[in-house]
Amino acid sequence: MASQSRYPVPLGTAFLAALRRPPAIAAATAGALLLVVLPWAAAVIANPAYVRWLIGIDRDIYASAAQSWLQSGQWYHPRQLAGPYDIVYGDVLYPPLLLYLLLPFQLLPTVLWWLLPAGATLASLRHIRPPAVALPFMLLCLAWPLAMEEVIKGNPVIWVLAAEAVAIAWGGPTTLVLLKPSLFPFAFIGVRDRKWWVVLGGMALASVPLLRLTLEYPVVVLNSRGGGLLYSIRDVPLLLIPVIAVVAARQGAASTSA
């Protein structure tokens, strides 16, 4: 009887198999968590004033912009419309559709600005139920300092993340990612679904009362200096979190049924 030839297990396959073992997952998760926590712990110790300054600074910018709109109808700063300008803190870089989200927070407690999107994102990830092996990779997305900085600053992208996570978890349209148009690739995840276009139509209708400001948005973007297509790259790791979760969950389900 001819003996069967035996081939060594490819290195990549062996590595992935080892990574799926509980001790390796626990070690990788702990390491990724340290990468998230340690830089910010060091920042708090080394420069606490800077960290205090960061907390909620973007939320405050957009809360002030909403208040300005209520008082004067102005959303963007005049210098953003007058001609080329360098982006500085305080500039409004979102389309005016964000006002529909901001206006209720003129009355709601400030802490809900973080708690609501965080709760929606975590509930969505729980619903997706990614395998444990995905957790280190999801944490590494937060280890990117600029991504975590966006969370601390209360940048509206935390709501974009929540909208994306809810859509991915429950099979809804990801159209609301277009609240930050520079992240448009993530909005196209569900573009084949008819509901995606229904929501897009709803967003277009909601823009009608804000038509003047909506037409100002491309002017503001084109006038800006120091932004460009790479300006939102800091937000990409955040939006990768639910993508990693659902891809890992589907692969886990496929391997279980195989």
> What was the pLDDT predicted at 22?
76
pLDDT reading at 16 higher than 80: no
Q: Is residue 15 one of the residues assigned to a domain? A: no
Q: Is residue 13 one of the residues assigned to a domain? A: no
- pLDDT bucket at 18, cuts 50 / 70 / 90: low
Read off the pLDDT of each residue in 5-21 and give the average, rounded to a whole number: 55
List of residues 6+ apart from 224 with CB closer than 8 A: 80, 84, 85, 87, 91, 93
- pLDDT bucket at 98, cuts 50 / 70 / 90: very high
Read off the pLDDT of each residue in 157-176 and give the average, rounded to a whole number: 95
- Helix (H) or strand (E) segment spanning residue 85: strand 85-86
> What was the pLDDT predicted at 257?
56
Q: Is residue 6 one of the residues assigned to a domain? A: no
Whether 160 and 177 have beta carbons less than 8 Å apart is answered as yes
Instruction: Match 């804000």 to its residue by tokens.
Output: 210
Q: Which residue in 101, 98, 89, 100 sits closest to 61, CA to CA?
A: 89
CA dihedral 170, 176, 178, 180 (to 10 degrees): -100
Q: Which residue in 46, 82, 76, 48 sits closest to 62, CA to CA?
A: 76
Binning the chain into helix, strand and coil, the percentages to the nearest 5 are 75, 0, 20
Read off the pLDDT of each residue in 22-40 and give the average, rounded to a whole number: 89
Termini Cα distance of the chain: 31
What are the pLDDT digits (tens) for 50-66?
999 999 999 999 999 99
Q: In angstroms, what is the C-alpha Rg of the chain?
A: 22
Rounded to the nearest integer, the mean pLDDT of the chain is 88
Question: The domain containing residue 201 runs over which residues?
Answer: 20-250
Q: How far apart are CA 151 and CA 149, in angstroms?
A: 5
Q: Is residue 9 one of the residues assigned to a domain? A: no
Q: Is residue 256 one of the residues assigned to a domain? A: no
Whether 43 and 50 have beta carbons less than 8 Å apart is answered as yes
- pLDDT bucket at 23, cuts 50 / 70 / 90: confident
Residue 2 phi/psi, 5-degree rounding, is -70, 135
Q: Is residue 4 one of the residues assigned to a domain? A: no
Read off the pLDDT of each residue in 241-248 and give the average, rounded to a whole number: 94
Residue 92 phi/psi, 5-degree rounding, is -95, 120
Between 256 and 217, the higher pLDDT residue: 217
> What was the pLDDT predicted at 14?
55
| Amino acid, single-letter form, for residue 155 | N
Read off the pLDDT of each residue in 186-203 and give the average, rounded to a whole number: 92
What are the pLDDT digits (tens) for 66-78?
999 999 999 999 9
Residue 192: CB atoms within 10 Å: 8
Q: Where are the beta strands (DSSP E) in 110-248?
A: 224-225
Q: Is residue 133 one of the residues assigned to a domain? A: yes
> How many structural domains is the chain composed of?
1
- pLDDT bucket at 4, cuts 50 / 70 / 90: very low
> What was the pLDDT predicted at 146?
86
Q: Is residue 47 one of the residues assigned to a domain? A: yes
Whether 25 and 132 have beta carbons less than 8 Å apart is answered as yes
